[in-house]
Amino acid sequence: MAINVRSNQGPTVPAQWLRQTPKDIPFDEMRQRLRSDGYVYVKNLLPREEVQSVRKEYNATTSAYFTLYEPTGIIKPGSFLEDGIFNDQNDPLAHGGIGAGELPPTDLQVQTMINAHTQPKYLQLLENPEFRTFVQGLMGWQKEILLTRTMIRHNAPGALSTAVHYDKLFLRKGEAEFLTAWVPIGDTKTTGGGLMYLSDSVLLGREIESDFSKRAKDLSHEERLSAFNVHMEKYGQLSQDASEFGDMHKVDGSRNWLVADYEAGDVVFHDPYIVHASTRNEGGDGRVRVSTDLRFYEEGSDMDDRWMKLWTPGDGL
């Protein structure tokens, strides 16, 4: 049964379900799935309560996401902070998250974006020992390195979501391959702004990147590394229209977008070249989607060291 979702532009996309992977199957089988599918969607990997506490701590401190963001006016007055219900009296385009487009219009919003990356509950989640051990086992690494530049962000109903892209576009420095972990911070329905993946698209991503490299051969070294050089689309994306992009790159008449009803505690690990985007947040419940993007390398590998610093506005990455 097809599930209809949308991206920033274009008509609805008839998507299919992502394949789920139990967290207790052998790592050899998981690695095979990562190679064949380009992703591993692991259910209930992280403790639900620990993930939810990043949205809103039950002891009402200022270290959780919506507690931090409440002064910006993004949350509906009188609602529970943990629910993250958008204040629909606002223009959603003025409450965008990292990577969706331009920075939000007020200094308070921008500073809140910066501060969100150093909150104790968030950092505690990133260091969860079972999570980090899982990454080692999945990749067969002795030791994993989490890049400092993580990206915790939100997607308000009606705002721009993350457009079509693959992650290697933004991490071109270094020869080593990395692993992305996408972590939904709270339950996220298919139409609520979660990630959707284009099936069988790892080779496609590699082909697109190879073409970009050929066209950038006369650029300076720094320009070739940039996801924003003269050969790239605005914001370093491939398209704002998932339907059109999928139709342009069908294989034997078929290549599907894949989605899920994500739950707090789920994690999707994916290949640097798999093509993906966020669905448009129009699920009808008014919830602001929160998630984080994490990138791991094997210790000692040739990694993109530009990302070994915290996200800041205008850092060129």
Q: What is the DSSP letter of 277?
A: E
Residue 253 confidence (pLDDT) above 70: no
Q: What is the reported pLDDT for 3?
A: 87
In this prediction, residues 259-285 reach a mean pLDDT of: 95
Q: What is the reported pLDDT for 93?
A: 85
Q: What is the reported pLDDT for 305?
A: 95
pLDDT tens-digit map of 133-149? 999 999 999 999 999 99
Residue 182 C-alpha from the chain's centroid: 5
Is the separation of the CB atoms in 311 and 98 below 8 Å?
yes
* Torsion on CA atoms 135, 139, 141, 146, rounded to nearest 10: -40
**Which carries the bigger pLDDT value, residue 181 or residue 232?**
181
Cα–Cα distance measured from residue 165 to residue 249, given in angstroms and rounded to the nearest whole number: 14
**Greatest mean pLDDT range, 209-218, 232-241, 262-271:** 262-271
Cα–Cα distance measured from residue 257 to residue 4, given in angstroms and rounded to the nearest whole number: 10
% of the chain with per-residue pLDDT over 90: 74
In this prediction, residues 19-46 reach a mean pLDDT of: 96
Residue 2 confidence (pLDDT) above 90: no
In this prediction, residues 239-251 reach a mean pLDDT of: 90
Q: What is the reported pLDDT for 58?
A: 59
Residue 192 confidence (pLDDT) above 80: yes
- What domains lie within the chain, and their CATH numbers? 3-307 (2.60.120.620)
Q: Report which of 32, 287, 317 is spatially closest to residue 173, judged by C-alpha positions.
A: 317
Does the model's pTM come out above 0.85? Answer: yes
**Which carries the bigger pLDDT value, residue 60 or residue 148?**
148
Average pLDDT for the chain = 91
Structure tokens, 27:
């790592």
269, amino acid identity = F
pLDDT band for position 61 (cuts 50, 70, 90): low
Residue 111 confidence (pLDDT) above 90: yes
Residue 230 confidence (pLDDT) above 90: no
Q: What is the reported pLDDT for 60?
A: 55
In this prediction, residues 65-93 reach a mean pLDDT of: 90
Residue 103 confidence (pLDDT) above 90: no
Residue 59 confidence (pLDDT) above 70: no
Residue 82 confidence (pLDDT) above 90: no
Q: What is the reported pLDDT for 56?
A: 82
Q: What is the reported pLDDT for 62?
A: 60
Q: Where are the beta strands (DSSP E) in 49-114?
A: none
Q: How far is CA 315 from CA 99, 228, 293, in A?
A: 12, 12, 17
